[in-house]
Each structure stands twice: as structure tokens, then as C-alpha cells.
Structure 1
Amino acid sequence: MEIRLINIGFGNIVSANRIVAIVSPESAPIKRIINEARDQGKLVDATYGRRTRAVIITDSDHVILSAVQPETVAHRLVNKESTPAQSEERPDE
């Protein structure tokens, strides 16, 4: 299985294969998920002190906070999937 990485802002990178959901932090259920993850030690704050704009939930129940919009993270994920893997071999010149 190929490991794919996605930039979630400020040079922070997560494994795209492990992402279950990318959601907005505004609703009460998401705020509850954030608080529960904090209590369990499974919260990763990658906002660098900025406002949380996206909450990334992984398959290991880790919750990652990002200062990048959910649409931006999803767009990066989709672009990563649609870009064909480039061969490291160079064509003969």
C-alpha cells in the first residue's frame, strides 16, 4: 500500500490514507469530539495558535485541528489522488 501524505497547513503533514473525515469545528457534536479527544490524549493541535477552521478525524480516533479551511484540505487530498505517480526514471535524452 502506498503511503500518501497531505499538507494541512504550516508544514504539517498527515497520512491521507488514515483520514476518515474533514469537518468544520462549528457544531456542538464536533466540539464534543474535540473535548473527548483532548481528555483521551488523542488531540493534535496543528493550528499554531490560529483559529481552528478544519477538524480532521482519523481511523485511529485521533483528532487533528488545522487552521486551513476544510475545502482546502479536501482539495489537496483530491489533487493528490488524481495526480499520477511520476516515475523516477528519466527518459533517454
Structure 2
Amino acid sequence: MSKLIHIGFGNIVNADKIISIVSPEAAPIKRMVQKAKEQGTGVDATQGRKTKAVLVMENGMLVLSALLPETISARAQSESENITDES
């Protein structure tokens, strides 16, 4: 069963497909985001707010979120704990 996590403003991603959650502040990440926008492989889920996290997905897509990486990570971990508890 896929784990879906809320990444802000009604946007949800499949947690099983996330490779990493990184801060957008580093220059290499900024270049990755710019390249993804140019190639059409980026999804902006910030609803016009400042990007605080970049999710790198299995298929090479980037998802931009206005939530902090720590917040998204905590949500992903709490979801996996809930599933473990229910088993």
C-alpha cells in the first residue's frame, strides 16, 4: 500500500517514491530546480509561497514545497509508524 503525505496547501505525494528531501538554498539544488523548470520535470506545489523544500522523486521529477524539509520528513515518518502500529 502506498503512503501518501501532505506537502502543504492540499498537495499530496507518494512517500514511497521520494528519494530525498533537500533545502533549496544550496547552489547545486538551485541549478537542479532551474533545469527541472526548463525541462518540464518540476512541479511547483508552493501555491506562490517561498520554496522551503525540494523533493527529489524516483522518476527524476522535482516537487517544490513551501513546508520545511523537517516537517515533511516528520510527516513521512509518522505515517510509516501508523502503518506499522496497525499491522
| C-alpha distance in 2 between matches for 1:66 and 1:12 | 9
What is the percentage of aligned positions where both structures have the same residue? 48
Name structure 2 gaps, 5 residues minimum: none
Higher helix proportion (structure 1 or 2): 2
Q: Which has the larger radius of gyration?
A: 1
Moved beyond 4 Å, runs of 4+: none
* Aligned equivalent of 2:48: 49
Q: Any idea what the Cα deviations from partners look like across 1:2-53, whole Å, max 9, x if unmatched?
A: 1110000011000011000000000000001101111111110000100000
> How many residues are treated as equivalent by the alignment?
86
- RMSD of aligned Cα (Å): 1.3
Name structure 1 gaps, 5 residues minimum: 88-93
Normalised to the residue count of structure 1, the TM-score between the two structures is: 0.88
Normalised to the residue count of structure 2, the TM-score between the two structures is: 0.94
